[in-house]
């Protein structure tokens, strides 16, 4: 039964929005009897489905509501395997056959580049996973004020859904997280309340190398493991050490900032060291709690392989790796070129890149901690013009100014690795006036059951 402020509609899902939820339009009469459009966002639905949905405050122009019933289901609809799927915000597409997800991602990339005037036929089919579960090597769980551990509710960052499992995280990672959750209950520790800014535990970061097996557990708390917390922290060391010998880094990190981020003002190593070792594409990396590293190692290795295949690095060439991070792409490319210069604004990442190069015996690299736009100028002055340039910018893209700098530096080939097809498309449009032609775009699915898709693209400079 609906109340006076609710109305039930039967409607068809037209398309999906950027967050993977269904979009529909219904018409209702306003108080004067005139037709009025109501745009609906309906999670966990698929294009073409007919659904019954009850909407509160239907007099508004836009509303979000879960479906009451799927009246006509998409042929690729599945029963989601995770018991938390209906509420947890970690995944959005567990109800969709994986082949359908991949096609949606291919279409997204095609649409993005077509909107900017490029030929969608240049986009290849998205490369998926043979086993699209338990693929993440890093998870950030959140504590609710009552101390329970989980992930944020769909569309509501104020609420935490307590978890018993997670089907996208590595299995051992989930088991270790659940052990921490049991420890929290045993000591009746509080979680952090985002409204009152009170409580002890904020986040639990778990990361594990699928190559070495080493695991890190990092607790983020509003105070250190001293005084009344010393006994509890030592008990945690004992519990983890007994059940999870693969944990080589057990950290307690103090964070009193109001911002809801996994950051640290003071670090305490409870056991082991403050980093773990990981490997990718035959190279070894050190990972700290704040190190950015691809969270799907299986597919990330494919990204590196595709980038090398497209870039065709040569031993006689110079190369720039823009937004190089800790050297994920730098090291494999550096082994194949004469010299490589990496540019990254995050100083700790550059320190890690230098250390990773040293650990792997690579001596032909130069890493610069600087903003991309300023860094290009500095590198060009001392390094000269590169034959090959690669960039892997954040979701916001590189931006027009950086792309025009790239165009003026005149590399023969540009390999662009993107985690956002829309900003990728607007970025590469900036290169057209400099004589660059888009040759190929290869989407790769690093995040099954979510809307995100990465892609690797090759642009070649035309002969003058």
Q: What is the pLDDT of residues 216-251, one digit of tens each?
A: 999 999 999 998 899 999 999 999 999 999 999 999
| Mean pLDDT calculated for residue range 361-383 | 93
Q: How confident is the model at residue 320 (pLDDT cuts 50, 70, 90)?
A: very high
Which class for 348: exposed (0-12), middle (13-18), buried (19 or more C-beta within 10 A)? middle
Computed over every residue of the chain, the mean pLDDT equals 93
| Mean pLDDT calculated for residue range 410-425 | 97
* pLDDT of residue 3 exceeding 60: no
* pLDDT of residue 2 exceeding 80: no
Residue 1 has what pLDDT? 45
Q: Which CATH superfamily is domain 103-129+294-461 in?
A: Vaccinia Virus protein VP39 (3.40.50.150)
Active site members:
419
Q: How confident is the model at residue 383 (pLDDT cuts 50, 70, 90)?
A: confident
CATH code of the domain made up of 138-280: 2.40.50.1070
Query: Cα(105)–Cα(20) distance, rounded to whole angstroms?
Result: 11
| Mean pLDDT calculated for residue range 104-128 | 98
Residue 4 has what pLDDT? 56
Residue 87 has what pLDDT? 87
From 30-34, 44-48, 211-215, the region with the lowest mean pLDDT: 30-34
Q: What whole-number percentage of the chain has pLDDT above 70? A: 98
Contact of 206 with 176, CB cutoff 8 Å? yes
> Which residues of the chain form CATH 2.40.50.1070?
138-280
> Which residues of the chain form CATH 3.40.50.150?
103-129+294-461
Q: Report the side by side order of strands in the sheet with 22-29.
A: 15-16, 22-29, 35-42, 62-64
Contact of 62 with 41, CB cutoff 8 Å? yes
CATH code of the domain made up of 6-72: 2.40.50.140
* pLDDT of residue 315 exceeding 80: yes
Q: How confident is the model at residue 5 (pLDDT cuts 50, 70, 90)?
A: confident
pLDDT in tens, 161-212: 888 899 999 999 999 999 999 999 999 999 998 889 899 999 999 999 999 9
* pLDDT of residue 462 exceeding 60: yes
Contact of 92 with 450, CB cutoff 8 Å? yes
* pLDDT of residue 415 exceeding 80: yes
Contact of 149 with 143, CB cutoff 8 Å? yes
Query: Cα(425)–Cα(113) distance, rounded to whole angstroms?
Result: 5
Please state, in angstroms and as integers, the Cα–Cα distance from residue 266 to each residue in 138, 141, 237, following that order. Answer: 21, 20, 19
* pLDDT of residue 425 exceeding 80: yes
């Amino acid at each position: 039964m609906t109340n006076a402020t609710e109305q039930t509609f039967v409607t068809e899902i037209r398309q999906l929005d950027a967050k993977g939820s269904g979009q529909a339009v219904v018409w209702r009469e306003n108080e004067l009897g005139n037709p009025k459009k109501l745009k609906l966002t309906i999670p966990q639905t698929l294009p073409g489905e007919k659904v019954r949905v009850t909407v509160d405050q239907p007099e508004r122009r836009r509303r979000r509501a879960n479906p009451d019933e799927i009246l006509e289901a998409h042929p690729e609809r599945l029963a989601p395997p995770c018991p938390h799927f209906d509420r947890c915000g970690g995944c959005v597409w567990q109800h969709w056959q994986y082949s359908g997800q991949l096609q949606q991602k291919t279409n997204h990339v095609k649409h993005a580049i077509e909107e900017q005037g490029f030929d969608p036929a240049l986009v290849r089919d998205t490369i998926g996973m043979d086993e699209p579960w338990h693929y993440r090597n890093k998870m950030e769980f959140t504590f609710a004020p009552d101390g329970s551990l989980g992930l944020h509710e769909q569309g509501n960052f104020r609420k935490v859904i307590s978890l018993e499992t997670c089907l996208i995280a590595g299995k051992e990672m989930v088991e270790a997280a659940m052990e921490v959750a049991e420890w929290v209950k045993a000591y009746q520790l509080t979680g952090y309340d985002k409204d009152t800014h009170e409580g002890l535990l904020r986040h639990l970061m778990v990361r594990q190398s699928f190559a070495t097996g080493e695991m890190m557990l990092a607790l983020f708390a509003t105070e250190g493991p001293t005084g009344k917390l010393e006994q509890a922290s030592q008990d945690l060391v004992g519990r983890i050490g007994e059940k999870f010998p693969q944990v080589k880094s057990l950290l307690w990190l103090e964070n009193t900032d109001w911002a809801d981020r996994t950051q640290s003002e003071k670090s305490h190593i409870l056991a082991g060291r403050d980093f773990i070792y990981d490997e990718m594409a035959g190279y070894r990396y050190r990972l700290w709690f704040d190190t950015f590293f691809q969270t799907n190692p299986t597919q990330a290795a494919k990204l590196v392989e595709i980038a090398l295949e497209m870039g065709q690095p040569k031993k006689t060439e110079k190369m720039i790796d823009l937004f190089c991070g800790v050297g994920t792409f730098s090291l494999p490319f550096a082994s194949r070129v004469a010299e490589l210069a990496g540019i990254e604004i995050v100083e700790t990442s550059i320190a890690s890149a230098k250390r990773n190069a040293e650990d792997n015996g690579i001596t032909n690299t130069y890493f610069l901690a600087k903003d991309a736009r300023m860094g290009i100028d500095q590198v060009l002055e001392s390094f000269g013009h590169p034959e090959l340039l690669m960039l892997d910018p954040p979701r916001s893209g590189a931006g027009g100014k950086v792309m025009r700098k790239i165009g003026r530096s005149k590399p023969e080939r540009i390999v662009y690795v993107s985690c956002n097809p829309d900003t990728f498309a607007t970025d590469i449009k900036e290169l057209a006036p400099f004589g660059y032609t888009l040759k190929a775009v290869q989407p790769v699915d690093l995040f099954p059951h979510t809307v995100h898709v990465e892609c690797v693209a090759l642009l070649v400079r035309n002969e003058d």
